[in-house]
Structure 1
């Protein structure tokens, strides 16, 4: 069995490793000239770290990560705690895998380190995908044609493969944008910051947590806006723009934003959920299939889960079985991943961003829930084994 994976982001790397463990020969194509990963921190819940353990990369990921003992939800104006939920050792004992926070580049490096170099072709841009009954093919920008039994398109949020398979669809602005920055821990030592905190305020929220073993502080500041912002990981905000958006917030929040200096600003966009991801011998995976807003911290996790199920679906398949195996993969993942897409979108407006009496009612609900539950409301999903087998 031979597969071509298009895109060497987190989803593409995880898919390559999962397919190789299933006995598939994989060629991984990446348009960049070297492995690289932009962005900043991401959170990895136990549903994702369980699969990283199966890929034999969890130890390397955990060594580069931070391990928060809890997550604290706080009021925007004075930092008073609304509630907290257990993570750390308690979560690992309960769900069988750790909750980690990590710099995206560190996760990417851990995955890339165990992909054999001979499986990777960098500086290779795919310009077309096609197929017939017996095989699937990609065409590169240099005119080369590569053939395999299946093609996995993990080409990200602006997926060209998604458009080739299902037609063009426009990104829809969510009405929110975010500032992000990563700051050295040494510059934050005087602020007594919780290890992982979400500050909730009117039409805004502010998230921070340590990454790279506590050496860096990852910051994301989300705000509502009527002005469509660029969907870019590298666009810079105007100097001190972030301070104007978070006027009146707790001094610790303001200090972090001030010390961040030049921050990046990006618009948060949604994609229309698909009703299928695959056609014949070609399938989507990760953000190309189900790009989601970040309000449930599950974007990377869902790509890793896709990869796990894809490998599981193909491990006993023959080349002739590929279309049926891809149907199995999509059938096992589509409802769950698109459900997470919808929950993430709702969380942005219904949970994170209300004001006035609605916010007060939300805080009361959160406090009441936390009084009876050790773990966050989404935690039951961390227990599910995506391969459909008991842990």
Structure 2
């Protein structure tokens, strides 16, 4: 079985490794001329780390990660703890894999390092995808035509493949903008910060957690906005994020005062699709289901996509590829659409104004902590990505 994967982000790399594990010969095509360090912190719930274990990469990722023992929800103005949820040994015992927090570049490097260099085509822009009953083909900007039995488009939220397959539909602005920064541990050592906290306030929330073995504090502030462009590299104006969180708990302001470069990007999503596949071509990851990050499930859902895709293509004859891709989508579509919707609801919940609704939310969070101890978003962590469930 020959496969072409378009896009070498986290989803594309995971798909490449899962397809290789299933016995496919894979060519990974990426338009960037090199793999570079980009992004900041990323959270990997057990549904993602189980896939990393299947790929033989969990130990390597875990060695570079933060290992939170708990998540603390806090009130915005005085930092009072609303509730706390277990994330350490309790999660690993319950879900069969750990909860990790890593630098996106560290995760990307581990995944990329597991792909044989001869399988990667960097600096190669795909400008078209075609297919017939027997094969699928991608055309590059350089005029090449690469042929395989299937094409997996993991080309991100601005997916060209999605447009070619299903027509134009633009990325949707979520109404929120995120400020992101990384701060060295020694610069915030005196602030008495919780190890991982989510601070909730009217129209905004603030998150921080440790990456790179506790050497760096990943900082994210999310604020309602009328418009903002989607960019991984746009810088915020000096002190813009301080103005956005004026009046918040002194520890939040203390962190923001010590940030250096702060990146500002508009959070965008894609409308849910009723299908991701056409014949021998399918979408995966953000190209299929980009979501707001308020359940920390974007990357995890791409990992599960990749695992299920590999399962569905194992021991399949090339003639059976369209049916196998149909099984992959049927196994994933309803679950991931539910996570998309849940992530959007979580963002609205976090930003409630002070008053009865916020107090009811806080009581609900505390009740969930008392009931199961794992938090409001743990339902997705038990997703079935096992080999035995392949259809």
Q: Please classify the TM superposition score into its range, dividing by the shorter chain length.
A: over 0.9
Quick check: 2:202–2:354 contact (8 Å CA) kept in 1?
yes
Q: CA RMSD in A?
A: 1.1
Q: Does residue 355 of structure 1 match 2:353?
A: yes
Quick check: 1:240–1:262 contact (8 Å CA) kept in 2?
no
Hey, what's the Cα distance between the residues in 1 that align with 2:4 and 2:371?
Answer: 48
Hey, what's the Cα distance between the residues in 1 that align with 2:387 and 2:25?
Answer: 25
Q: What TM-score, normalized to structure 1?
A: 0.97
Please say which of residues 248-257 and 33-42 is displaced more in the overlay: 33-42
Quick check: 2:45–2:98 contact (8 Å CA) kept in 1?
yes
* Counterpart position of 1:178: 178
Shift of 1:374: 1.4
Superposed CA deviations along residues 174-204 of structure 1, whole A, max 9, x for unmatched, are 1111100011111111111111110001111
Q: Does residue 345 of structure 1 match 2:355?
A: no
SS at match of 1:222: strand
Structure 1 segment 268-347 matched on structure 2, within 5 A: 268-347=267-346
Q: What TM-score, normalized to structure 2?
A: 0.97
Superposed CA deviations along residues 232-254 of structure 1, whole A, max 9, x for unmatched, are 11111111011111010001100
Structure 1 segment 141-220 matched on structure 2, within 5 A: 141-220=141-220
SS at match of 2:85: strand
Q: Does residue 241 of structure 1 match 2:251?
A: no
Structure 1 segment 2-81 matched on structure 2, within 5 A: 2-81=2-81
* Counterpart position of 2:261: 262
SS at match of 2:190: coil
Aligned residue pair count: 388
Hey, what's the Cα distance between the residues in 2 that align with 1:384 and 1:165?
Answer: 28
Quick check: 2:365–2:376 contact (8 Å CA) kept in 1?
no
Superposed CA deviations along residues 266-304 of structure 1, whole A, max 9, x for unmatched, are 111221111100000000000000000000100000000
Quick check: 1:101–1:210 contact (8 Å CA) kept in 2?
yes
Hey, what's the Cα distance between the residues in 1 that align with 2:136 and 2:315?
Answer: 19
SS at match of 2:370: helix
Q: Which runs of 5+ in 1 are unaligned?
A: none
Shift of 1:388: 7.3
Q: Which runs of 4+ in 1 moved over 6 A?
A: none
Q: Which runs of 5+ in 2 are unaligned?
A: none
Hey, what's the Cα distance between the residues in 1 that align with 2:37 and 2:4?
Answer: 20
* Counterpart position of 1:376: 375
Quick check: 1:9–1:154 contact (8 Å CA) kept in 2?
yes
* Counterpart position of 1:126: 126
* Counterpart position of 2:384: 385
Hey, what's the Cα distance between the residues in 1 that align with 2:328 and 2:269?
Answer: 23
Shift of 1:52: 0.6
Quick check: 2:339–2:380 contact (8 Å CA) kept in 1?
no
Hey, what's the Cα distance between the residues in 1 that align with 2:168 and 2:37?
Answer: 26
SS at match of 1:321: helix
Hey, what's the Cα distance between the residues in 1 that align with 2:170 and 2:42?
Answer: 26
* Counterpart position of 1:111: 111
